[in-house]
């Protein structure tokens, strides 16, 4: 009987020790969270304009004076936002505009030498890449200047594409790539792993490589209707 009481007492002591550790962890976690909130409340003044932001973890931001962020911006760890004004001997005048209530998950990369606009209430999943430029030029044969494949990619000139615009209420899935000149209309959904280029109409579902519209919302029927292939 005495042995049983001792065992129960030992278990209670261990449980209490765990509770104490959890309580201490909670205090430290709360303190750290509050410190990060204070840090970002002051940090926002580095930007051209910023209503408020919170980033959960590591990040790299380049070109603060060319970045505007609205209210309630949140991002996951590994965030990388680059407004590139100088690359080697090249000079640019980039502009990144992010609206209100925009959420970015982990490891989102936005690279800009021209203009990228993300409007209000956009949700972007992890590992998404958004760019308005390329390393080198590989397109129209009428263009005189093409990059040699013998030049290391990092040493090739940046070539500016058309601006990128992502409308309000857009949801972008995991590991999507959005290329220069892309416009995504209001309320659209971009499926995971898609590569998107060109004009996406409002209220569309896009999937594939290259991304194509597979459904559109019909307000009269209140349903996402399949788009017929031509």
Residues with catalytic function: 135
Could you tell me if 56 and 65 are in contact, meaning their C-beta atoms sit under 8 angstroms apart? Answer: no
- Give, in order, the Cα–Cα distances in Å from 190 to each of 40, 93, 117, 167, 224: 30, 29, 17, 12, 14
| Burial call 79-107: b when 16+ CB within 10 Å, e when fewer | bbbbbbbeeeeeebebbbbbbbbbebbbb
Helix/strand/coil percentages in the chain, nearest 5: 20, 35, 45
Answer for the pair 108, 75: CB distance below 8 angstroms, yes or no.
yes
Please name every residue paired with 131 in a beta bridge, in sequence order, or none if there are none.
111
Among candidate residues 210, 165, 209, the one with its CA nearest the CA of residue 188: 165
């Amino acid at each position: 009987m005495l042995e049983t009481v001792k065992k129960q007492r030992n278990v209670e002591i261990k449980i209490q020790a765990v509770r104490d550790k959890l309580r201490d962890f909670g205090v430290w976690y709360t303190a750290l969270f509050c410190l990060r909130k204070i840090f970002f409340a002051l940090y926002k003044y580095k930007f051209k304009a910023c209503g408020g932001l919170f980033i959960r973890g590591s990040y790299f931001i380049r070109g603060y004076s060319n970045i505007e962020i609205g209210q309630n911006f949140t991002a996951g760890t590994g965030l990388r936002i680059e407004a590139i004004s100088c690359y080697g001997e090249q000079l640019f005048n980039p502009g990144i505009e992010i609206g209100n209530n925009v959420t970015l998950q982990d490891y989102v990369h936005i690279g800009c030498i021209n203009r990228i606009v993300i409007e209000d209430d956009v949700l972007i999943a992890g590992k998404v890449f958004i760019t308005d430029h390329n390393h080198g030029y590989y397109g129209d044969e009428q263009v005189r200047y093409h990059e040699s494949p013998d030049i290391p990619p990092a040493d090739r000139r940046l070539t500016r594409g058309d601006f990128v615009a992502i409308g309000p209420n857009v949801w972008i899935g995991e590991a999507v790539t959005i290329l220069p000149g892309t416009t995504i209309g209001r309320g659209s959904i971009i499926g995971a792993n898609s590569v998107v280029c060109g004009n996406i109409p409002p209220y569309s579902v896009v999937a594939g490589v290259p991304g194509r519209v597979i459904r559109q919302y019909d307000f009269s029927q209140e349903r996402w209707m399949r788009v017929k292939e031509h």
